[in-house]
Amino acid sequence: MKIGKNIIAKISYELRDQLDNSLLQQIPADDPAEFLFGHNLLLDAFETRLIGLSSGDVFDFTLSSDEAYGPVNQSAIFDLPMSTFAEEDGRIDDEVVQVGHVFPMADNEGNRHFGKIIRKMKERVTMDFNHPMAGKNLIFKGIITEIRKAGQEEISAHLQMGRQ
């Protein structure tokens, strides 16, 4: 059996930043990640590179930032007033509002976004709403550990998780 539409593959891999070879993510062989193929749940280029592989096949490929999470969008980095983080009593919790902390926020249309504080000033913070891997060329090295046909209930469950 090969990876294709409606196939679930268990995959173990390392994900590294091509720039400095730093480890960004590691999925160990004793606890592989499970992916459903053919339903737009994965990065297109990642899925394309794995289509046709079988259980036991190894892979090693690089996705450019354009193929992965795109370039860093400077307009997704902006300042917000410190009052954005005020508690109900108007107090700002300095332990919570720290550089490196990530906050879920909603835009004017109610879309949810995650922003990371990258700079803290007296009256405002600079937030970065880019994907954490934006601007990075990504190296994937791993192995397909298991492949099986997905049942309809599994497909529905994966699709529901993908919408969250």
Return the pLDDT at 163. Answer: 57
Range with the poorest average pLDDT among 4-13, 25-34, 103-112, 124-133: 103-112
- CA proximity to 97, closest of 113, 108, 84: 84
pLDDT digits over 82-132, tens only? Answer: 988 888 888 888 888 999 999 998 888 888 889 999 999 989 999 999 999
Is residue 52 pLDDT above 70, yes or no? yes
Do the domains 74-128 and 7-69+134-163 match in fold?
no
Task: Using DSSP, state whether 153 is helix, strand or coil.
Answer: helix
Average pLDDT taken over every residue of the chain: 92
From CA 42, how far away is CA 18, in angstroms rounded?
20
Query: Is CATH 1.10.4100 the classification given to domain 74-128?
Result: no
- CA proximity to 157, closest of 44, 8, 50: 8
From CA 92, how far away is CA 109, in angstroms rounded?
26
Return the pLDDT at 162. Answer: 62
Is residue 32 pLDDT above 70, yes or no? yes
Write down the domain spans for the chain: 7-69+134-163, 74-128
Return the pLDDT at 85. Answer: 86
Please answer whether residues 53 and 46 qualify as being in contact, where contact means their C-beta atoms are separated by less than 8 angstroms: no
Is residue 56 pLDDT above 70, yes or no? yes
| CATH for 7-69+134-163, options being 3.10.50.40, 1.10.10.10, 1.20.1050.40, 2.130.10.10 | 3.10.50.40
From CA 80, how far away is CA 97, in angstroms rounded?
12
Return the pLDDT at 153. Answer: 85
Would you say the pTM of this structure is higher than 0.85? no
Question: Which residue is associated with the tokens 């999470």?
Answer: 69
